[in-house]
Amino acid sequence: MKKDRLLAKWLNNDLSEDELAAFKASPDFEKYQKIKSYTEHLEVGDLDENAMLSNILKQKKATPKVVPLHKKWMFQVAAILVLGLGITFAFKYLMPQTQTADFGEKTTFSLPDNSEVVLNSGSEINYKKWNWDNNRRLELKGEAYFRVAKGRRFEVQTNLGKVSVLGTQFNVKARKNKFYVVCYEGRVKVNYANTQILLTHGQGVSFENGKQVKMTINALQPEWMDNQITFDKENIRTILDEVERQYNITIELNAKDTVSLFTGKLPAKDLDVALHIISTTYHLETKKVSKNKIIFVEK
């Protein structure tokens, strides 16, 4: 503060001789002297205070809208809540819902209209909850049994064909190049390529490589739901694929391909019996490499 007072007095030429001598001896005097010499040559026009005031009054300044801090905080919280609810709604109803049954498992679940679905091992279903009652449509990969509640048209889309019903019980399987549908109650409309077939209770149809086979079914529900794997004139590779799904194992076939077709049943809950039936039917020897790997070799 003392230095500021000395500087002010020096600029106004009010320093005494002793004060002036002391000020000139200060380390900053040379810097002050240069500043003073530069500013002495500056010219500043007269300030028209009235004109400045008039210009200020002519400018209409918008009154800033002040939002109380607590209200601003409430708005932010409300926005976050709305965003969170929107995201939750989108994921719950707009995003596709997925149900799966891993190898060695079966999954039972209900759709939004209380229709019941049982997924066989190694299968998957995708659907949307949004507007389900007006658009009962789902996509199936693998095999599933449906008990459909009464209502609008119900559609099962697969990569091989489509099944349409109103309210009924039926089974659909789409694996590799085989499309298989059986009606256990009501009526089922099946679309495969350019073919459309209407099935009623106890009727079934399969399509494979463009070949259509109709069948009559006496069972009340698919055998796989009773832990029985049923085959009708299937080759050994198809049989082994299904056993792998049901038991969640890996099977290696080290034998010549055979054209022999198998018709019959294998248990889905007794691996040793299933392997024995396969080895006996195709004259193979079973080797258990590990708990989850089986090798079939020629005898």
What is the DSSP track for 142-204?
EEEEEEPPSSS-EEEE-SSEEEEESS-EEEEEEETTEEEEEEEESEEEEEETTEEEEEETTEE
CA distance 142 to 120: 7
pLDDT by residue, tens only, the chain of 299 residues: 455 566 666 666 777 777 777 777 777 777 667 666 655 544 444 445 555 556 655 555 555 566 566 555 566 656 666 666 655 555 555 688 999 999 999 999 999 999 999 999 999 999 999 999 999 999 999 999 999 999 999 999 999 999 999 889 999 999 989 999 999 999 999 999 989 999 999 999 999 988 999 999 999 999 999 999 999 889 999 999 999 999 999 999 998 767 789 999 999 999 999 999 999 999 999 998 888 999 999 88
Find the helix or strand (DSSP H, E) in which 245 lies. Answer: helix 236-247
Name the one residue in this structure whose structure tokens are 């320093």: 15
Q: What would the two tokens of residue 91 be?
A: 């994921």
Q: What pTM, to 2 d.p., does this model score?
A: 0.67
Count each helix (H run) and each strand (E run) in the chain, helices first: 7, 18
Q: Which residues contact 44 (CB under 8 A, 6 or more apart)?
A: none
Nearest to 219 by CA among 203, 205, 231, 206: 203
Residue 35 has φ and ψ, to the nearest 5°, of -60, -45
What confidence score (pLDDT) does residue 95 get? Answer: 83
Q: Could you tell me if 218 and 204 are in contact, meaning their C-beta atoms sit under 8 angstroms apart?
A: no
What confidence score (pLDDT) does residue 88 get? Answer: 57
| Secondary structure (3-state) at 103 | coil
Positive or negative, the CA dihedral 43, 48, 51, 54 is: positive
What confidence score (pLDDT) does residue 76 get? Answer: 63
The neighbouring-strand residues paired with 124 are: 100, 141
Nearest to 163 by CA among 147, 187, 142, 185: 187
Largest CA distance in the chain: 128
How do residues 50-64 score in pLDDT, each as one tens digit?
Answer: 555 566 555 555 555
What confidence score (pLDDT) does residue 17 get? Answer: 79
Q: Could you tell me if 159 and 167 are in contact, meaning their C-beta atoms sit under 8 angstroms apart?
A: no
Helices (H), 40-120: 49-58, 69-89
Positive or negative, the CA dihedral 138, 144, 148, 153 is: positive
Q: What angle do CA 235, 282, 238 make, to 5 degrees?
A: 25
